[in-house]
Chain A
């Protein structure tokens, strides 16, 4: 057995880790086993990518099957990383339509979590650009599923957290781009109302996201920097500039677990003050930035999860429906700023309708916060959950390690339909993760 954990390093669980080399071996790894689940690149924070008894690592499957430069349609194995896709096809003028905040996720992981990017409010999630998947179900069949064919399995697999089976391959559409540069405009907002107004005004921008200073309270509560972005065209580049910038490997690494002392209310407050002021100085003007720092600001420091110390950390990402969001978000941020131990920066973003049956997004605002795992944090987050549920919101499964079954069931009303499809694909219950054991009615 091997100790396995997600990016947040909590929980750490014993699970047999297998690295199959062929699709047949994937089948064997899943068959006749009391609970296996696929694992991509392990960037889910909690327990989604840990098998109840066996974890099937998929990153060895990293081949591109075919690519059509006329349509941007690409067929690939599920273990290909988005970073690989960007580095390989970016210079050829194609990027994924949707990328999350780190590029080190696999295609399988991006589909299974139906990941959202800074463009969800207008362009939807990763799943929208998936045309079909080759799925190895718990029952042992290998099926091709699309909007037309096996459509129940298709919509349950998008956002289905690996619970419908193992995605072996997928056909997705890539976005044609002229350059690898983003025209960015920063807006500074002095409080939550201004931040939400700026995000609403950014509805027509392709990309938009707000970084909130969650240490600020009182009249500064919810002060934020809003980053809007558009793909830059070739004629916007300065003469001699590379049409496609090169993505550097993370140079700076956090070599050891920092003592949890490093993150305290003073260091966080000082950092955020500086960050806000530097951003506010740039506000208004627009300028070109490489896609790498624009989309993946955290990727420049590898193993940054060690900043939170050995015990790990929790991310809390909720989405609140538009109606009444202002009050709930204000209440959450107020409680967080009074605690003073939350993340350096919180992320606030607008989402649109999700595509999969169990997809996280719904039209509204999503707030993501990191908390070091200590003290009464679990109780605190339970209280926040009550606010979220009361407002008709839900939590993101790819970031979750601790929500209660009740919170989950109320937040995801389509769960019954999902479970029925799952049972039909896997009557014996071969596919099971630590997350599904925790949140679904199963042992």
Chain B
């Protein structure tokens, strides 16, 4: 009998985190859930156990508490096969423009923390010779926009970190996936105006991540339409782009 694979989901209590854990559990993975509030994760862990008869354990993880990362990585009962970082904070750009603490939190939540934790797992995976690292970044990192460049720049940093790590790991058995969901209907985007045809539900993201891991895809735009949209946005000349206040 082959032993089952294990996935670690960092930021498990988000809608995308739940959906991703479900997709992997359905495919037969045992799940390690990590999040800031472990009590919140318990019902979701119970859900996976009841639905798919998989093992599901819970760990405390705060993306801003980088000092705790070594402890988390070393404290896991088993080094997972796949680690997925879904952590992120949209924040409020308008506040972040003058509130340095808020801007810092956005930057650290989307760049510093996710990069450092995946970096630690990368060392372990490279030493072992296999494993998949998944970072959920954002199309917002493809080009800074007037309305959310604090968040976007942090995501850009994270995307760059992931692509560099991927290049470094390319000749090893370790694979790195960058996921760029566009609009996803979640808690985070509730109340925002989302463009219907460009918006997906969280389970679509979960399935896309599972597929990317299994097929060893490098960069995934969850809805294919975004690849085109971002291509256009990225190639607009700066002189025109800066006049677009979106």
Q: Which A residues fall within an 8 A CB radius of B?
A: 19, 21, 63-67, 74, 88-89, 92
In contact, B50 and A65 (Cβ under 8 angstroms)? yes
Most A Cβ at <10 Å: residue of B47, B50, B52: B50
B44 with A63: CB separation less than 8 A: yes
Q: What are 22 A-B pairs with beta-carbon distances under 8 A?
A: A19-B190, A21-B187, A63-B43, A63-B44, A63-B46, A63-B47, A64-B47, A64-B50, A64-B51, A65-B43, A65-B46, A65-B47, A66-B46, A66-B50, A67-B50, A67-B51, A74-B50, A88-B26, A88-B51, A88-B52, A89-B51, A92-B53
A74 CA / B47 CA spacing, docked (Å): 11
Which residues in A have their C-beta under 8 angstroms from that of B47? 63-65
What 0/1 readout, one digit per residue, does chain B (184-214) give for beta carbons within 8 Å of chain A?
0001001000000000000000000000000
* Minimal beta-carbon separation of A55 from chain B (angstroms): 16
**In the bound complex, CA of A124 to CA of B47 (Å):** 29
Expressed in whole angstroms, the Cα–Cα distance for A64 and B53 within the complex equals 12
Contacts of B52 in A (CB 8 A): 88
Q: A65-B50, A66-B46 are in contact. List 15 more A-B contacts (CB 8 A).
A: A19-B190, A21-B187, A63-B44, A63-B46, A63-B47, A64-B46, A64-B50, A64-B51, A65-B47, A66-B50, A67-B51, A74-B50, A88-B51, A88-B52, A92-B53
List the 9 shortest-distance A-B pairs measured between CB atoms, nearest first: A63-B47, A67-B50, A64-B50, A64-B47, A88-B51, A64-B51, A66-B50, A63-B43, A65-B46
- What number of B residues sit within 8 Å (CB to CB) of A? 11
Chain B 214-233 interface mask (CB, 8 Å, partner A; 1/0) = 00000000000000000000
Q: How far is the CA of A35 from the CA of B44 in the complex (A)?
A: 31
- Candidate in B43, B44, B47 with the most chain A CB atoms within 10 angstroms: B47
Complex: how many Å from CA A67 to CA B51? 7
**Which chain A residues border B44 with CB–CB below 8 Å?**
63
CB distance from A373 to the nearest CB of B (A): 26
Cβ contacts under 8 Å, A21 to chain B: 187
For A89, list chain B residues within 8 Å (CB).
51
**Distance to closest chain B CB from A300 (angstroms):** 20
Q: How far is the CB of A244 from chain B (nearest CB, A)?
A: 14
CB neighbours (8 Å) of B46 from chain A are 63-66
CA distance A71 to B84 in the complex (A): 36
Q: How distant is the Cα of A64 from the Cα of B46 in the complex, in angstroms?
A: 7
CB-defined interface of B26-47 with A at 8 Å, one 1/0 digit per residue?
1000000000000000011011
Nearest-Cβ distance from residue A92 to partner chain B, whole angstroms: 8
Q: How far is the CA of A19 from the CA of B190 in the complex (A)?
A: 9
Residues of A within 8 A of B43 (CB): 63, 65
Q: Which residues of B contact A74 (CB under 8 A)?
A: 50
Residue numbers in A under 8 Å from B190 (CB-CB): 19
> B19 → chain A, closest Cβ, in Å?
10
Which chain A residues border B26 with CB–CB below 8 Å? 88
Q: Which residues of A contact B51 (CB under 8 A)?
A: 64, 67, 88-89
Task: List chain A residues, Cβ under 8 A from B50.
Answer: 64-67, 74
Q: Which residue of B lies closest to A62 (CB)?
A: B47
Instruction: Report chain B residues within 8 Å CB of A67.
Output: 50-51
How far, in angstroms, from A92 to B26 measured CA to CA in the complex? 12
Chain A residue at minimum C-beta to C-beta distance from B26: A88
A63 and B187 CA atoms in complex are apart in Å by 16
Q: In the complex, what's the smallest C-beta–C-beta distance from A82 to chain B, in angstroms? A: 15
Complex Cα distance, B187 from A65, in Å, reads: 22
**Separation of A64 and B51 alpha carbons in the complex (Å):** 7
Bound Cα distance A58, B52 (Å) = 23
- Tell me which of B26, B43, B51, B190 has the highest count of chain A C-beta atoms within 10 A of its own C-beta: B51
